[in-house]
Structure 1
Amino acid sequence: MTKPSSDQPLRLAVLGMIPGNGHPYSWSAIINGYNREAMASCPYPAIPGYLGAQPSANVRIPGVNVTHVWTDNPTEAPAVAAASLIPHVVARPEDVIGEVDAVLVSTDDGADHVRRARPFVEAGLPVFIDKPMATTMDELKTFIAWERGGAPLLSSSGMRYAPELGKLAADLPSMGELRWLSLTTAKTWERYGIHVLEPAFVLLGPGFVSVRLESQPGLEVAHLLHRSGVQVSLPIIYDGGGSFGAVQLCGTKGLAQIRFTDTFNAFRNQLLAFINYVRTRRHPYPFAHTVEMMAVIIAGIRSRESGCQRVDLSEILSELSYETTS
Structure 2
Amino acid sequence: MNPAGYAETFASDHGIERVYASVEEMAEQVDMAFIHSCNWDVHVARALPFVHARKAVFIDKPLAGNVRDLLQIKEWASRGAVVTGGSALRYAPEVQALRRQAAAPHSFIYALSGCANDEYYYGIHAFTLLHGLLGPGIRSVRHLGHSGQDQYELSWSDGRRGIVSVGATESSHPFYATMITQSGVEFITADSSRLYRSLLEAVMPYFSGEAPAPVQLEAVIETELAAIAARLSKERGGQPVELPSLTPDASGYDGAAFARAYREQKRFSL
Scaled by the length of structure 2, what TM-score is found? 0.79
The aligned counterpart of 2:94 is 164
Contact 2:143–2:150, Cα closer than 8 Å, also in 1: yes
Q: Deviations over 1:256-312 (max 9, x none)?
A: 112112x23221121233321221162112122123222212211222232332101
| Contact 2:114 2:175 (C-alpha < 8 Å) held by counterparts | yes
Specify the alignment match of 1:269 in structure 2: 198
Q: Which residue of 2 aligns with 1:31?
A: none
Deviations 1:97-147 (A, max 9, x none): 222111100125433311221122122221110012122121112112211
**Judging changes above 3 Å, is the alpha-carbon distance between structure 1 residues 279 and 241 closer, same or farther for their aligned structure 2 residues?**
farther
Aligned to 1:112: 42
Decide whether the 8 Å contact of 2:130 with 2:177 is kept in 1. Answer: no
In structure 2, what is the equivalent of residue 193 of structure 1?
123
- Checking the alignment, whether the CA contact within 8 Å between 1:213 and 1:221 is kept in structure 2 is yes
Indicate yes or no: 2:210 matched with 1:251.
no
1:221 counterpart SS class: strand
Map 1:142-157 → 2, pairs under 5 A = 142-157=72-87
Task: Flag the 1:140–1:172 CA change in 2: closer, same or farther, 3 A.
Answer: closer
TM superposition shift of 1:74: 5.7
1:171-190 mapped onto 2 (5 Å cutoff)? 171-172=101-102, 177-190=107-120
Structure 2 residue runs without a partner (length 5+): 251-270
> Which shifted more, 302-311 or 171-180?
171-180
Q: Secondary structure at the match of 1:140?
A: helix
Partner of 1:133: 63
In the TM superposition, 1:1-326 aligns within 5 A as: 76-77=6-7, 80-81=10-11, 84-172=14-102, 177-214=107-144, 219-239=149-169, 242-261=172-191, 263-280=192-209, 282-316=212-246
The answer on whether the counterparts of 1:295 and 1:317 sit within 8 Å (CA) in structure 2 is no
The 1:179–1:319 alpha-carbon spacing in structure 2 relative to 1, beyond 3 Å, is farther
Amino acid at match of 2:206: Y
Decide whether the 8 Å contact of 2:141 with 2:229 is kept in 1: yes
- Residue 269 of structure 1 aligns to which amino acid in structure 2? S
Partner of 1:59: none
Q: What displacement does 1:213 show?
A: 2.9
Query: For structure 1, which segment, 272-281 or 111-120, has the greater mean C-alpha deviation from structure 2 after superposition?
Result: 272-281
Partner deviation per Cα, 1:214-239 (whole Å, 9 max, x = no partner): 56597322211123333211111323
Given that residues 179 and 229 in structure 1 are in contact (C-alpha distance below 8 angstroms), is that contact kept between their aligned partners in structure 2? no
